[in-house]
Amino acid sequence: MFLLFDNQLTLRIHLGIYGKWNVSEIDPEAIPDPVGQVRARFISGQNLADLRGPTVCEVLTKAEVKVVEKRLGPDPLNPDRDGTEQERFVQKVLSSKTAIGLLLMNQDVIAGIGNVYRAEILFRAKIDPHRPGNTLQASEVEEIWRDAVDLLKVGVKTGFMITRDELRTKRPKRADRNFVYKREGLPCRVCSTNISIEIMAARKLYFCVGCQIN
């Protein structure tokens, strides 16, 4: 996340696994002191947001932003009218022998996809997470990108990582939001095969053998 201040300085935040915003309503006349390790605080009228536990929280100059942006992979939440970001992502995947399940977790390849979206996007695209990037079709990689753009927008709008389209406008319980994430051993919502789990590069990977591998 990049927040631009007065057109000069940018606050860059990466929530990582433990980062969290706590939003509360306050009396603007009696603003409470920060409790614990608050890294950033925003106040607007009666609303207060405290940031705790992010992996990154730093103030950058314009020049420093350029350096970070170059280092980070394409970001599905960035405006991409000319398709440059999508094309960068497609080329990075197609030129790599690494499994697509790992590529989606690599911030150099695509920014902002965590463990939930990695599993869900590959399920929705019916792609085996173990396939090396260079064995995918360009059209498959483009579909992954478009779905990431779509799902992340839903996430930002609703505050929930909902990947079942029919539940987008509802407020589904955690157990109902996804197809495969944290559903190991439960029947697939599409083909009824029990959802699989394995450890891929120290992170849990969820997928459906019926939909994605057979």
Binding site for Zn ion (CB under 5 A): 188, 190-191, 193, 208, 210-211
d(CA 183, CA 21): 26
**Which phi and psi (to 5°) does residue 14 adopt?**
-125, 115
Q: Which is nearer to Zn ion, 122 or 136 (CB)?
A: 122
Q: Which is nearer to Zn ion, 161 or 208 (CB)?
A: 208
Q: Which is nearer to Zn ion, 148 or 211 (CB)?
A: 211
Beta strands 56-60 and 9-14, pairing class: antiparallel
- Residue 25's DSSP bridge partners are 47
d(CA 174, CA 63): 41
Least Cβ distance, residue 117 to Zn ion (angstroms): 18
The residue assigned the tokens 């059209």 is 139
- Residue 44's DSSP bridge partners are 47
The residues near 30 (Cβ < 8 Å, ≥ 6 apart) are none
| DSSP-derived 3-state class of residue 49 | strand
Least Cβ distance, residue 1 to Zn ion (angstroms): 33
- Residue 196's DSSP bridge partners are 207
Least Cβ distance, residue 154 to Zn ion (angstroms): 21
Least Cβ distance, residue 178 to Zn ion (angstroms): 13
Q: Which is nearer to Zn ion, 94 or 213 (CB)?
A: 213
Least Cβ distance, residue 28 to Zn ion (angstroms): 51
Q: Which is nearer to Zn ion, 49 or 190 (CB)?
A: 190
Q: Which is nearer to Zn ion, 68 or 209 (CB)?
A: 209
Least Cβ distance, residue 210 to Zn ion (angstroms): 4
d(CA 177, CA 110): 23
